[in-house]
Amino acid sequence: MLIYMLRRSALLVLSLAVAMVVIFVLLRLLPGDPANALLSVDATPEQIAAARAQVGSDQPVWQQFATWSAQLLQGDLGESYISSREVGPEIAARLGVTIPLTLLSFALALVLSLVIGITAAMKADRWYGIALSGFSQLGVAVPVFWVGVILVWIFALQLGMLPSGGFPRDDWEDPADALRSLALPVITIAFVMSASLSRYVRSTTIDVLGSDYLRTARAGGASMRGALLRHGVRNGSVPVVAVLGIELSTTLLGAVVVESVFTLPGLGSMLLTGIEQHDFANIQGVLVVSTLFVVLVGFAADIAQRLIDPRLRTSISGNLR
């Protein structure tokens, strides 16, 4: 297991390095010079040269990448071309919105998907089991922004129960007020995610219910609940853990759309503003943090799978990996 973790850690570092190269190259392939963010329409050649020197776009591409890589290794994400504010502290402040939004949405979606998926599998011959399966199909087909708009119309405009958007200026000094602001975005993401995730839970539960080991446990006198808890949970959770890692990463990336719908000051709005203003420093910073999150979640899910199922830690020859 130790050897595998070392190999997996080396692969994680390599993946991050490749991702950084891809981010840098793709941004440089976009039309226009990043210095344009600092220039007016009637800028003189001298002003253009000064702006390019300020953002470093007058240097060769390999030198720009070397400078950026050296900054990253020091934990420096650079400064915004527009506001001249450091990108790192700005991202850290916005994570105070994006991370709670992501984790709360994921937790709610996990609870809903387990209830819906297991019930739909075990009660597949009942009307509500069929209805829950239909819900999962419907939820996958519905765009997340459309769900957000509908929830705003119902709970904010019609019922007046929750705010339609925005976030308190004092952030989390009043937790109740902050949670009220995140309520509709969390429900929006959880609705779509639970619909997708419940399909995997249902499929895995059906496989467990029809497995030989469960029938053997029942034949030995174990109750259905006891057999599921002792044998079904571990075997069924392995494929679900992999999907959970993907869904958690998707939740963070999907926050770009949801934060726009609810005007939340998170990473999503920072990324969109950076794209609109052609602010490469902000764009690169958000993409680096998002990529790091996705890669670390994938690493954690991979390790969790091997901790849950000992068979994954054993090679074909029977030696521990």
pLDDT at 231: 59
Span 246-272, pLDDT tens digits: 777 777 777 777 888 888 888 888 888
CA distance linking residue 182 with residue 234, whole number of Å? 33
Residue 88 in domain: no
Q: Which residues of 309-320 are buried (b: 16+ CB within 10 A; e: fewer)?
A: beeeeeeeeeee
Span 5-29, pLDDT tens digits: 777 788 888 888 888 888 888 887 7
Span 272-314, pLDDT tens digits: 888 877 788 888 888 888 888 888 888 887 777 777 666 655 5
Whether 69 and 107 share a structural domain = no
Range of the domain at 136: 95-313
Whether 10 and 63 share a structural domain = yes
Backbone phi, then psi, for 81, in 5-degree steps?
A: -70, -30
CA distance linking residue 77 with residue 74, whole number of Å? 9
Whether 54 and 144 share a structural domain = no
Mean pLDDT of all residues belonging to the chain? 78
**pTM for the whole thing?**
0.79
Q: Report, as an integer, the average pLDDT of 195-204.
A: 80
Whether 231 and 265 share a structural domain = yes
**Between 78 and 185, whose confidence is greater?**
185
What type of residue is 321? Answer: R
Domains of the chain: total: 2
Residue 90 in domain: no
Going from the C-alpha of 143 to that of each of 147, 188, 195, the distances in angstroms are 7, 10, 12
* CATH code of the domain in which 159 resides: 1.10.3720.10
Whether 272 and 194 share a structural domain = yes
Count other C-beta atoms under 10 Å from residue 110's C-beta.
19
**Residue written as token pair 């219910």:** 209
Whether 116 and 146 share a structural domain = yes
In this structure, is the dihedral angle defined by the CA atoms of residues 242, 248, 250 and 253, taken in order, positive or negative? negative
Span 87-98, pLDDT tens digits: 888 888 888 888
Whether 242 and 105 share a structural domain = yes
Residue 80 in domain: no
